[in-house]
Structure 1
């Protein structure tokens, strides 16, 4: 599949800059694959649509992983922590990266990151580094670059069930749940720490040439037992989908997954998908196309644009049944 098959035009004003209040006031585009039916609802009406399905949510928590640090020469550097590798050691993105050197110590250059010190241990690729961080991350919430305003409440970039710290981005399909709404939906939790793979755009000409680095996950035995035996499984988000389908293929309850879901993929456990509207040329959009169908997804995105749905992390949601 060519990368430009994942393109579409989006008016800039449809990129949501702030989340709606309350969380479940966001809109919900519902698509039934079996009948082709399309409904326009609100997220608060989700329980009426999912019926007796078991919902699976990703309980990862975003860490304050964007650090603004400086070189001894005075140059400013932004370090985005991607994944904790071991005690004090992280994989990170550093920008600008070209002149950085192994062994260099970068120190905080704003009050939010005060006291933070990052030592560059090894250069990887694509601007990634292995770094040593003194203490716990104490930077900014790593909002995507298309969001130009800080949320009024930083907790709005966390799900209400966020529990396990470790992500560089939020599993955004879950941002619409309130505690009260979640209580009305039968659900279990899995954990996948969102890293580079989730938000890195395609750089190759085809999907087949794109390489995933993989992300860490963990699933409790009781949760997997419920997922495995459920009559129907609703995956809340693309990250959850990748975890469930990894285990459905015999993956261990804890490890890394580089499962790449593209059109033609056989879904063995997930039979309903709740997701936000994703950027062009991303693996996330490829996963949605794999589940809903390529042409069907294009049609749904076209409808969402005409109906003025809000897109991306703080935007509205889509339910594919």
Structure 2
């Protein structure tokens, strides 16, 4: 019996590559403009090796920049299970995802946590706080539906569940910067600044739109004086780090993330202007809006070589994980073979990879 052959553009194995561990950036470049910038010219296939300080020298003035202004929550919490031994060394890690109701939220909890389990939230000094979390439901995906409460008395049962603004305040008070899973270290106070874009405004992301991290406040002020800039919002979720598991990438079920466009962004996209998307998240919003015409909602757009961009002219992005949808998105812009050539070049030239790493400009 003849087995079905998956075309190379859609075979998951085509998007794997070997990366030396030392090229994974665990800390950002300071100052931000000192980061390296690989420039790829689509018409000629030429590659330039620059630094991010050369951005305005490289990008023509007739491009409009589209930026994602989502703000990263301090989404990682630590807690002890009520009824157990409440010691700091026994703390459980909780990753907040998003709201799923007025006072209900999706979270991940490291280790077992059945429906009804109660957790006491700890602060940065690893001391217990008055905040608690109750597990309401365990989903097949592994996520838990929970509610948070403030325990002013000894009984958590009598306290009203917190709503989203109150939970965001809890995260800001007790939470930690949700560094990506491949950064094997504790977060530090500087990460709360470094893992946030200078134009972050709308809270809701649990991962940064990392191409945005290359701009300092000074650099971005200069850019706004030289280019038209507009903003979209896409709240980046944990799905951005999930590798595709299906052998044929077209069978992959894309994760969903909420988005919204400003009126200026809608007007810019609608007119005949050259768009440079700052990051894959901005590109996905632009391309989703171009296809469906809705100014806000849920984005599940999966760009790959079989679903190429229709409106975006240029892209600033980082270097992405093997077998990730982001790597496939880059291939949608420049083709799989060129993507592989560029990544081989980046590894040879010792570029720094992933969220705190160097950047690539495609135009």
2:154 corresponds to 1:145: no
Q: 1:83 aligns with which of 98, 101, 106?
A: 98
Q: 1:161 aligns with which of 183, 189, 199?
A: 199
Contact 2:303 2:309 in 1 (8 A): no
Contact 1:263 1:286 in 2 (8 A): yes
Shift in Å at residue 109 of structure 1?
4.2
Structure 2 spans left out of the alignment, 5+ residues: 1-9, 150-165
Instruction: Give the secondary structure class of the aligned counterpart of 1:116.
Output: strand
Alignment partner, residue 127 of structure 1: 142
Q: 2:77 aligns with which of 67, 73, 77?
A: 67
CA offsets 1:49-103 (integer angstroms, 9 cap, x no match): 221211101000110111111222346432111122344322222222xx32112
Contact 1:84 1:166 in 2 (8 A): no
Count of residue pairs brought into register by the alignment: 319
Instruction: Give the secondary structure class of the aligned counterpart of 2:356.
Output: coil
Alignment partner, residue 162 of structure 2: none
Alignment partner, residue 47 of structure 2: 38
CA offsets 1:202-247 (integer angstroms, 9 cap, x no match): 2333312321231000112222102221421011111111111010
Shift in Å at residue 292 of structure 1?
1.5
2:216 corresponds to 1:178: yes
TM-score with structure 1 length normalisation? 0.94
Alignment partner, residue 49 of structure 1: 58
Alignment partner, residue 279 of structure 1: 321
Contact 1:106 1:117 in 2 (8 A): yes
User: Which residues of 2 match residues 1-321 of structure 1 at below 5 A?
Assistant: 1-51=10-60, 52-72=62-82, 73-74=84-85, 76-96=91-111, 99-111=112-124, 114-134=129-149, 135-136=166-167, 137=171, 138-149=174-185, 150-151=187-188, 153=190, 154-183=192-221, 184=223, 185-321=227-363
Q: Provide the C-alpha distance between the structure 1 equivalents of 2:147 and 2:230, rounded to a whole number of angstroms.
A: 34
| 79-88 or 277-286, which deviates more | 79-88
Root-mean-square deviation (CA, aligned residues, Å) is 1.7
TM-score with structure 2 length normalisation? 0.83
Structure 1 spans left out of the alignment, 5+ residues: none
| 227-236 or 21-30, which deviates more | 227-236
Q: Provide the C-alpha distance between the structure 2 equivalents of 1:42 and 1:241, rounded to a whole number of angstroms.
A: 22
Q: Provide the C-alpha distance between the structure 1 equivalents of 2:271 and 2:250, rounded to a whole number of angstroms.
A: 33
Q: Provide the C-alpha distance between the structure 2 equivalents of 1:251 and 1:197, rounded to a whole number of angstroms.
A: 24
| 255-264 or 200-209, which deviates more | 200-209
Contact 2:233 2:260 in 1 (8 A): yes
Contact 1:279 1:312 in 2 (8 A): yes
Instruction: Give the secondary structure class of the aligned counterpart of 2:42.
Output: coil
Q: Choose 1 or 2 for highest CA Rg.
A: 2
Shift in Å at residue 151 of structure 1?
4.9
Instruction: Give the secondary structure class of the aligned counterpart of 2:100.
Output: strand
